[in-house]
Amino acid sequence: MNNNFVLQGATDSTGSTVDVVIESGVLVGKPSAGVDHEVIDCSGLRVLPGFVDLHTHLREPGFEQSETVASGSTAAAAGGFTAIHAMANTFPVADTAGVVEQVARLGHDAGLVHVQPIGAVTIGLKGEQLAELGAMAQSKARVRIFSDDGNCVHDPSLMRRALEYVKAFDGVIAQHAQEPRLTVNAQMNEGALSAKLGLAGWPGVAEEAIIARDLMLTELTNSRLHICHVSTAGSVELIRQAKRRGVKVSAEVTPHHLLLTEDLAGSYDPIYKVNPPLRKQSDVEALRIGLTDGTIDVIATDHAPHPKESKDTDWASAAFGMVGLESAYAIAQQVLIDSGESDFERLAEVLSTNGALISGLSEQGRYLEVGSKANLTLVDPKLAIQMELKTHSMSENNPYAGLSFKGGVVHTIYDGQFSYRNRNIIDRSAR
Amino acid sequence: MRHLLSANDLSHADAVAMLDLAEDMAEVNEREVKKLPTLRGKTVVNLFFEDSTRTRISFELAAKRLSADVINFAAKGSSISKGESLKDTAQTLEAMGADAIVLRHSSSGSAFRLAHTDWVESSIINAGDGSHEHPTQALLDAMTIRQSLSQDVRGRDLRGVRVLIVGDISHSRVARSNLILLSTLGAEVHVCGPATLAPGSLVDQQRVHYLLNQALRDVQPHVVMMLRVQQERMSASFFPTEREYSRIWGLNKSRLAALDEKTLVLHPGPMNRGLEIDATSADSKSSRVLNQVRNGVSVRMAVLYSLLSGEKN
């Protein structure tokens, strides 16, 4: 496959027009003589570093009715991602070198995006005993981020040990902050609306109390903490204060928490059921401020595919989660650019560079650096997008179906070659 | 009106009209031949995912008095216990020709979902969805209260009536529906119970009382509605022991004696005699528990008639 291109006339994140030259999949300063380049007209398109998602549920092994590594990779490439991080709540759980190596291999075989496995913190996600974090770190999957996501590492003693233990291989613990005793059978945000609807509430304090504790443990152990899907104003403020003190914490926010509120639960339609739940408008605003002022480091999709039977039912029986890989960019553009609140430089940080740094992926997030492997995304900020129920994901639990957005991914270049070109997937599976 | 899902579905005029219609139905229930031919040929399905004998029988009687055919579908020992979903069960019943589905389910919002998805076309009546609502219960409570106000009640609402609901408000669908409907009808509704079971934002703070003796003194209610206490609340530390609950929030002989003799005592049933209500209170002249049961059939006849008869009343 040809991997000598000139992406002509693109606009970079600062607003300057650039011609991006790629030869043998690597960025070069200018076209070399004697090399046959395919020239691609990119006028009107923004070139950005390939997006990095720190929080993706690929469901394989074990839940292939919802998604596979291959189908998830396809959705990712269509969403402009060149790297995704596969959460460990598969079946079997990704708590051994064997499982994480399998997930990495499946990603490699699909060839569309870098699939970086996340390892479980505890065996079986049970929260009782540490998993073999060292084995996973030293495996071919090179795991650096560990998370029991889906579950909270609620035992403070275990969380302390996990934070200390990963220092040996520069690991980071990514916490799903949810005090289980305060959220027994919780269905939606706790408040006036949950009382009216008769749905058990998930109070913000259940998230904030864990975050407060973990920030202090991180300070004590001098380790690194990452907080998944921050959802409340209170959480944002805790993180802000901790960063001022120099605590080594990073935080992510999902696109749906930047856009949607709990009011949608009034229809009892479980397409809006998610964990942590959609909150109030004041929380949405605090999250947006946190995203622009540096308190929150990345947008992470928490792409959570579910089969139809898990959502086509009553609220309490329905599964938690929404797909999000293919709607993330449009929402990021709406929240950061179209709102006038920020710019493409910040967008590039939160969708790509910061994620690459947190995860230690040296080939990701490198923006137009000569000599780097090409991992780039080209978007058309003016493209009118009509969100459909059916996307590249196997699942259709998409809360944005039927809504119109502005801004879409046109090309995705992964590891030096197109994975998504003119809004079509390129087959790069290893044979 | 196609469905009855929530007490919010009834405006002031709708509620008064429904209660008047229920009075007409009550007259049918006093006759020797307790039958109206109105719903002949219609099929009503009682789809009960939760145990309930009283409500189910009440709906069954109501449908039969209107000459409808009735099918009872109970969760235990049925396809539901084998894992069949709400959607499949409802669609199977409709395929067999149900015109109305009376649904009781443990999940809040299930009746709303059944009514608003494209799974079935039948009319849906909410007979209790999780801790959300139980609109026909509120209607029969309103009817019972209204009957105590005067001889000729038709056209009347509940303006000027003070009601005190006592117990686990936060988990009670009976409380939620009553709070809505009684207020729609103009009553002043207060609540009383342990702070752990308080209604949060559902009730104005001035109408929330934590101690029963004080509440009875301060509110001087015309109606005291006692809610059933559930065992699981004790194990989840909402209150320490049954004895303490009964001591502070139970309706007993001495509290009953302190009430005005015209005060009504209501209870949705089934009663935990000795816990939230003692035998003396349950069997006293003030107790309207049996009137509630009687009115339950009349009110459910009125609802079925409104939804299925296709006639304007």
Would you please indicate which residues of A are annotated as catalytic (active-site) residues? 302
Q: Which residues contact A398 (CB under 8 A, 6 or more apart)?
A: A271, A322, A323, A327, A387, A388, A389, A391
pLDDT at residue B82 in the model? 62
Q: Indicate the pLDDT class of residue B313, thresholds 50, 70 and 90.
A: very low
Chain A contact set for B131 (CB, 8 A): 198
How many residues make up chain B in this entry?
313
Q: Which of B107, B233, B235, B238 to mutate to test the interface with A (most CBs of A within 10 A)?
A: B107
Q: Answer for the pair A68, A60: CB distance below 8 angstroms, yes or no.
A: yes
CB contact under 8 Å between A198 and B176, yes or no, is yes
pLDDT: which is higher, A232 or B72: A232
d(CA A101, CA A137): 11
How many residues make up chain A in this entry?
431
CB contact under 8 Å between A198 and B110, yes or no, is no
Across the interface, which of A199, A312, A316 has its CB nearest the CB of B87? Answer: A312
Question: Which chain B residues have any C-beta within 8 angstroms of a chain A C-beta?
Answer: 85-87, 105-110, 112-113, 116-117, 129-133, 170, 173, 176, 199-202, 236
Across the interface, which of B109, B117, B199 has its CB nearest the CB of A315? Answer: B109
pLDDT at residue B122 in the model? 93
Instruction: Name the residue in chain B with its Cα closest to that of A185.
Output: B107
Across the interface, which of A198, A269, A314 has its CB nearest the CB of B131? Answer: A198
Distance of CA A134 to the CA centre of its chain: 24
Q: Indicate the pLDDT class of residue B77, thresholds 50, 70 and 90.
A: low
Helices (H), A64-191: 69-78, 97-110, 133-138, 156-165
Strands B100-105 and A376-386, by their bridges, are unpaired
Residue type, B67: S
What number is the average pLDDT over the span B188-211?
93
CB contact under 8 Å between B108 and A198, yes or no, is yes
pLDDT of residue A133 exceeding 50? yes
Q: Indicate the pLDDT class of residue B80, thresholds 50, 70 and 90.
A: low
- Most trustworthy range by pLDDT among A28-32, A180-184, A309-313, B147-151: A180-184
pLDDT at residue A177 in the model? 98
Determine which helix (DSSP H) or strand (DSSP E) holds A7, and give its type and residue range.
strand A5-11
pLDDT at residue B257 in the model? 96
Prior bond of A276 cis (ω within 30°): yes
pLDDT of residue B202 exceeding 50? yes
d(CA B169, CA A195): 10
Average pLDDT over chain B, rounded to an integer: 93
pLDDT of residue B68 exceeding 80? yes
CB contact, 8 Å: A180 with chain B? Answer: no
User: A with B: how many residue pairs have Cβ under 8 Å apart?
Assistant: 65
Instruction: Name the residue in chain A with its Cα closest to that of B176.
Output: A196
pLDDT of residue B150 exceeding 90? no
Give A145-174 pLDDT, tens digit per residue: 999 999 999 999 999 999 999 999 999 999
Give B179-192 pLDDT, tens digit per residue: 999 999 999 999 99
pLDDT at residue B199 in the model? 86
d(CA A301, CA B243): 51
Query: Which residue from A420, A368, A298 is spatially nearest to A48, judged by alpha carbons?
Result: A368
d(CA B67, CA A26): 81
CB contact, 8 Å: A185 with chain B? Answer: no
Query: Which residue from B292, B47, B302 is spatially nearest to B174, judged by alpha carbons?
Result: B292
d(CA A370, CA A360): 19
Burial pattern A330-362, b for ≥16 Cβ within 10 A else e, equals bbbbbbbbeeeebebebbbbbbbbbbbbbbebe
Across the interface, which of A195, A199, A313 has its CB nearest the CB of B201? Answer: A195
Across the interface, which of A197, A312, A313 has its CB nearest the CB of B132? Answer: A197
Give B8-63 pLDDT, tens digit per residue: 999 999 999 999 999 999 999 999 999 999 999 999 999 999 888 899 999 999 99
CB contact, 8 Å: A220 with chain B? Answer: no
pLDDT at residue B85 in the model? 81
What number is the average pLDDT over the span A50-57?
98
CB contact under 8 Å between A196 and B87, yes or no, is no
Residue type, A398: N
Q: Indicate the pLDDT class of residue B94, thresholds 50, 70 and 90.
A: confident
**How many Å lie between the alpha carbon of A184 and the closest alpha carbon of chain B?**
10
What number is the average pLDDT over the span A106-119?
98
3-class DSSP state for residue B210?
coil
Chain B contact set for A197 (CB, 8 A): 108-109, 132
Across the interface, which of A196, A198, A313 has its CB nearest the CB of B86? Answer: A313
Query: Which residue from A210, A86, A234, A88 is spatially nearest to A159, judged by alpha carbons?
Result: A210
A174 by Cβ neighbours in 10 Å (0-12 / 13-18 / 19+) ranks as buried
pLDDT of residue A227 exceeding 80? yes
Q: Answer for the pair B48, B75: CB distance below 8 angstroms, yes or no.
A: yes
**How many Å lie between the alpha carbon of A319 and the closest alpha carbon of chain B?**
14
CB contact under 8 Å between B199 and A317, yes or no, is no
CB contact under 8 Å between A269 and B113, yes or no, is yes
Chain B contact set for A195 (CB, 8 A): 170, 199-202
**How many Å lie between the alpha carbon of B298 and the closest alpha carbon of chain A?**
27
What number is the average pLDDT over the span A277-292?
98
pLDDT at residue A431 in the model? 55
CB contact under 8 Å between A198 and B112, yes or no, is no
Give B216-264 pLDDT, tens digit per residue: 999 999 999 999 998 777 778 888 889 999 999 999 999 999 999 999 9
CB contact under 8 Å between B113 and A192, yes or no, is no
Q: B11 φ, ψ to 5°?
A: -75, 175
d(CA B192, CA B175): 11
ipTM summary value: 0.85
CB contact, 8 Å: A308 with chain B? Answer: no
Interface of A with B in 198-217 (CB under 8 A): 198-199
pLDDT of residue B76 exceeding 70? no
d(CA A186, CA A47): 42
Taking each helix axis as running N to C, give the angle between helix A281-293 and helix A233-244, from 0 to 180 degrees, rounded to the nearest 10. Answer: 20
Instruction: Using the structure block, give the residue that is written with the tokens 């001035």.
Output: B206
pLDDT of residue A219 exceeding 90? yes
pLDDT at residue B79 in the model? 65
3-class DSSP state for residue A330?
helix
Give A340-353 pLDDT, tens digit per residue: 999 999 999 999 99
CB contact under 8 Å between A267 and B86, yes or no, is no
CB contact under 8 Å between B117 and A312, yes or no, is yes
Q: Which of A262, A268, A273 to mutate to test the interface with B (most CBs of B within 10 A)?
A: A268
3-class DSSP state for residue A191?
coil
What number is the average pLDDT over the span B198-215?
93
Average pLDDT over chain A, rounded to an integer: 97
Determine which helix (DSSP H) or strand (DSSP E) holds B247, and give its type and residue range.
helix B242-249
Interface of A with B in 234-263 (CB under 8 A): none
CB contact, 8 Å: A264 with chain B? Answer: no
Give A377-388 pLDDT, tens digit per residue: 999 999 999 999
The verdict on pTM exceeding 0.90 is yes
What number is the average pLDDT over the span A14-20?
96
DSSP A346-387: HHHIIIIIHHHHHHT-TTSS--S-TTSB--EEEEEEEEEEE-
